[in-house]
Chain A
Amino acid sequence: MIKKTISRRRFVATGAAAAAGVVAAPYVSTAQSAGSLTLGLWDHWVPGANKATEDVIKAWAEKEKVQVTVDFVTSQGNKNLLMLAAEAQARSGHDIVALPTWQPARHANSLEPVDDILGDLIKQNGAVNATVEYLGKIKGKWAAVPATVGSQMKGPASRIDLMKKLANVDILEMYPAGGPPKADAWTMDAFLKAAQDCNKGGHAFGIGLGTTSDSVDTAGAIFNSFGAVLVDQKENITAKTENVRKALDYATRLAKEYPADSPSWDDASNNKWLVSGRGAMIMNPPSAWAVAVRDAPQIAEQIWHHGMPSGPNGRHAPFLPYFWGIWNFSKNKAAAKSLLRHMSTRESAEKMVEASKGYDIPAFASFTNFKTWAEIGPPKGTMYHYPNPHNHQILSIAAAPTPHRIAEQIYTQGLMTKMIVRHLRGDSMDSVLTWTESELEGFMRT
């Protein structure tokens, strides 16, 4: 090891030059500046999907001569949320972290703004969807980069045979593989009718009314389809509006067709409902289908992923993005930004989508035509419409466009599903809405 002594004057001059370099220049790989990076990323459900991310990172690290350590942290038991909370509190930990849905807003004060990266990515790839912008751009600044890994759509995964036989709905005709959807007749009324028919036929739609995200996302999409907003952007409580009443009335009529214990469902219940052969439809990313391919291939062959029904306020599909963020206490922000640019290229995204067997969806609309979705099966084309390639749905999230502080509470406490369950068990519309207002008042705290 070579040890040098330098004068104080020389040290100050070098330090100032280095600081100027960090501020002005993008990350430049030299033997001196390489350093190290640690990443705390989401541990993917799909076996082997982490490998693609690792390969993408490894290629960058070798090129840039940076020592990179990746920890894949599971979301089981909210371990990833605990990690984020602990690191934000301690102001120490990884350099780059994967942030689920509401986390960029929650940790915006501890995250390094990434407007420079997003500015370039949007120039290259076109705009990101509005939900990604709502969740990732906090007070006019991008808090994190939309991630391909973990971002998902929770539209319908239907049984082709049961929908045809019990509800006379030809899913393949509405959503043909390789072609644009012909779903004008696929409305909220048609959806309710199909739910009634399938329930009568002994294969109810497997939609939960619990407080986990699958249940909340479906309720949120229904509310959004009716333009039902509980708190507006100016933080006024709007729970007693006509749109909310209509949405609640519709959602409750629909919920009568759900399985009796749907108020207790978690994110695994709907998957089991479909894979066991009991359900004609669930609202889920293709993970249930992937399990069926392994455990119940005869059922997997009948599953088709497609778009949501349209309501008076449009056709809203629940989209849950993940983000990659850089802590503002990271010691190597320039390298972290360079890596995130690399992870966000079309080539990297395509590798990640392929490794996840189509589960992951990039935030850019121009990235929804990868061959994985067109080719994967059985049945071939089952995922063609999953990433919304013809842009016929509005990708949205429950509780948007309410300000994040309140929206996160509406979402995590499952307020909409609770409203439906209360109305379903016999509470009057007015008493449910009064209770909702009281809950919302509690969510306003700062």
Chain B
Amino acid sequence: MVDATMKSDAAALRADKRGSLQKTFQRKSTIAFLMTLPLIVLIALLVLYPAIYAVHLATLNKTMERFVGLSNFTFLFKRETFWMVVWQSCIFAITAVFFKAVIGFIVAHLVHNIPDKGQRKWRGMLLVPWVIPPAMSTLAWLWLFDPSYSAFNWIFERIGIDPVPWLGDVYWARFCVILVNVWIGAPFFMIMYLAALKSVPDQLYEAAKIDGANWWQTMRFVTIPMMRNIIMITALFSTIVTFANFDIVRVLTRGDPLDQTHVFATWAFRLGIEGGDIPLGAAISLFMVPILTIGAIFILRDIVKRGNEA
């Protein structure tokens, strides 16, 4: 009898478990988790694993035989070239993002004012620099700046201007690297800003007009506040991507002359792969992670806060 009772209890327990399992699988959050699981696995494999491995590499000595803690970072902090690369990366990223934002903003307004009929054509054409793979378009720029065959210098010579050492002089080389980055990246800002502009309700402009607002006041009190979130997100995204840029500098200057166009990624490649010091290369490539993370947290927090207020 006792035995029979125990058996029925166990069966009830099993049925309960089955029921709760069924309930779990029927829950929306579980289904959502299962459906995103392939992506989570993919990110873990392609993003998390390399990131953790890079951190591991950055803690090894040059021959990767022993753990050295943060020695690679303390070594870098003592190197003059490292601080030069930090400075250059900041100049490169800040200047390029600023000009991309300004140009993108102006062009977005110009395109926004084109009648709908012809707008698609312009949008498509203006996106071309952004959709061409950067390594390819940078190669074309390299030919334009080439010492022997520079098209710019060819034109200069014909109008009596001395040829410019585009990539041979430190300042010109930095200018060229930033120019190409702006050329490639400005269309992204343009398309984001254009989307933001299109989402501003016309009633706001009408109200501003009724209140007697001039062009500048409309821009300051209507357009920019309505675009603010997009401006912040675009600037954040672009800053991260620009800080991590590799292809433009690598193809155009390789960090020359005198290492004065290097950014973190190209210098990490120079030391890590070309110079055979993979741990030091990993340490360089990781240097910006905490700074960019803190920046991203503040900007995203601000956006969420204002979203909640709205």
Contact = CB atoms under 8 A, between A and B. Distances in A.
B147 A264 contact: yes
A399 B92 CA distance: 33
A422 interface: yes
B80 interface: yes
B88 interface: no
Given A210-B257, A418-B259, A261 B273 contact: no
Contact of B167 (A211, A261, A276, A422): A261
Interface residues of A, number: 39
Given A260-B165, A272-B146, A413 B275 contact: yes
Contacts of B149: 272, 276
A442 interface: yes
Given A211-B254, A263-B257, A278-B148, A78 B79 contact: no
Interface residues of B, number: 34
A446 B256 contact: no
B270 A413 contact: yes
A435 B258 CA distance: 12
B123 interface: no
Contacts of B61: 446
B274 A272 contact: no
A422 B258 contact: yes
A356 B222 CA distance: 68
B46 to A, nearest CB: 16
B105 interface: no
- What is the predominant secondary structure among interface residues of chain A facing chain B? helix
B273 A438 contact: no
A446 B165 CA distance: 38
B135 to A, nearest CB: 9
Interface in A133-191: none
B69 interface: no
B285 interface: no
B273 A82 contact: yes
B118 to A, nearest CB: 41
Contacts of B166: 261, 264
Nearest to A405: B62
A243 B60 CA distance: 37
Given A272-B146, A272-B148, A418-B259, A264 B253 contact: yes
A78 B274 contact: yes
A408 B276 contact: yes
A314 B27 CA distance: 82
Contacts of B62: 405, 445-446
Contacts of A408: 275-276
Given A109-B63, A264-B168, A412-B275, 8 more contacts: A106-B276, A209-B257, A260-B163, A261-B167, A262-B168, A264-B256, A272-B146, A273-B147
Contact of A81 (B169, B273, B280): B273
A442 B255 CA distance: 18
Nearest to A418: B258
A326 to B, nearest CB: 20
Contact of B258 (A259, A263, A269): A263
Contact of B257 (A106, A278, A421, A438): A421
A269 B173 contact: no
A79 to B, nearest CB: 10
B237 interface: no
A271 to B, nearest CB: 9
A409 interface: yes
Contacts of B147: 259, 261-262, 264-265, 269, 272-273
A269 B254 contact: no
B81 to A, nearest CB: 8
A212 interface: yes
Contacts of A439: 81
A412 B274 contact: yes
B287 interface: no
B257 A102 contact: no
Interface in A268-288: 269, 272-273, 276, 278
16 contacts: A78-B273, A109-B63, A212-B254, A260-B165, A262-B147, A263-B257, A264-B147, A264-B167, A265-B147, A273-B148, A276-B149, A408-B276, A414-B256, A438-B80, A445-B62, A445-B280
Given A102-B276, A276-B149, A408-B276, A264 B75 contact: no
Nearest to A259: B147
A249 interface: no
B278 interface: yes
B257 A264 contact: yes
A85 interface: yes
A261 B168 contact: yes
A57 B61 CA distance: 39
B256 A263 contact: yes
Interface in A195-252: 209-212
B274 A81 contact: yes
Contacts of A261: 147, 165-169
A416 B251 CA distance: 22
Contacts of B275: 408-409, 412-413
A226 B275 CA distance: 26
Closest 6 interchain pairs by CB?
A: A261-B168, A263-B257, A264-B167, A261-B165, A264-B168, A272-B148
A82 B272 CA distance: 10
A210 B256 contact: yes
Nearest to B173: A264
A266 interface: yes
Interface in A391-446: 405, 408-409, 412-414, 418, 421-422, 435, 438-439, 442, 445-446
